[in-house]
Copies of this chain bind each other. A is one copy, B any other.
């Protein structure tokens, strides 16, 4: 996959101008008294100012979660201060540069609506990701990727070639420092090994309101069942098909007059919006895993 550069790409770098704090601290640990005070002490010690703070203690898992936006501090310094202050809590945490765009690899097939939404938003500066490339098992979306100045690679995936394609995905993830893999209506099931490799950093869009209508042809299933709303679900990819932790869901009203193709049309807007929103939440470090559930700090 050859990186593409040019005016399109250069431009997209400049446009994400929504003011964000410089650093984002996300942290989780077993809940107990004094954690917030310890963390804020670290931030004060590192010369930082809190501009946004959200906190949640899960009664189910007994875990404490927080996401804090910090201005005026150095990342390394903050990392060290937080490490020192929270050592006794057994905390795991990340300090991310809020202005750094999340490096993202998109997997696609033939349907272009989800890819179009992701690329348009990225280009227009409303989605803080850097798309390192699109890999697809069909070539029909190559012109769209080209238009947005994004590298595109395709291979017809057969049972025989699948291991090779997956190996290529892993190689790109490793070599290109990919932080997020997005399955934008990629119609292939990933192998358990690839799912494990991508755990916590791959998001899929399923075209139903999970847990309803798992598996193939959810719109046909929805039509047969006669539901009055259809939905879309963005979730982390796990080895358990359509069972990964849910990040975002939306529904839209339908009625008895709508055939399956109409449901497909109506649903595509939900899919695109839901996936793009989930990617935004992830890229802004707003999604934390709490076992099989997610904590979303909006």
> Chain A interface (Cβ within 8 Å of chain B)?
8, 17-19, 32-37, 40-41, 43-44, 48-60, 72, 112-113, 116, 120, 124, 126, 143, 147, 209-213, 223-229, 231, 245-251, 253, 255-257, 259, 261-262, 265, 268-269, 273, 290, 292-296, 298
Contact = CB atoms under 8 A, between A and B. Distances in A.
A81 B175 CA distance: 53
A265 B33 CA distance: 29
A36 B53 contact: yes
A252 to B, nearest CB: 10
Given A18-B265, A273-B269, A226 B54 contact: no
A295 B59 contact: no
Contact of A116 (B40, B120, B229, B261): B120
Closest 3 pairs between A and B when the two form their complex, measured CB to CB: A226-B293, A37-B40, A33-B49
Contacts of A124: 112-113
B54 A294 contact: no
Contacts of A298: 255, 257
A41 B228 CA distance: 34
Nearest to A273: B269
A296 B33 contact: no
A55 B229 CA distance: 21
Contacts of A261: 17-19
Contacts of A53: 36, 53-55
A58 to B, nearest CB: 8
A209 B210 contact: no
A211 B213 contact: yes
A261 to B, nearest CB: 5
A144 to B, nearest CB: 8
B212 A18 contact: no
A128 to B, nearest CB: 11
B259 A246 contact: no
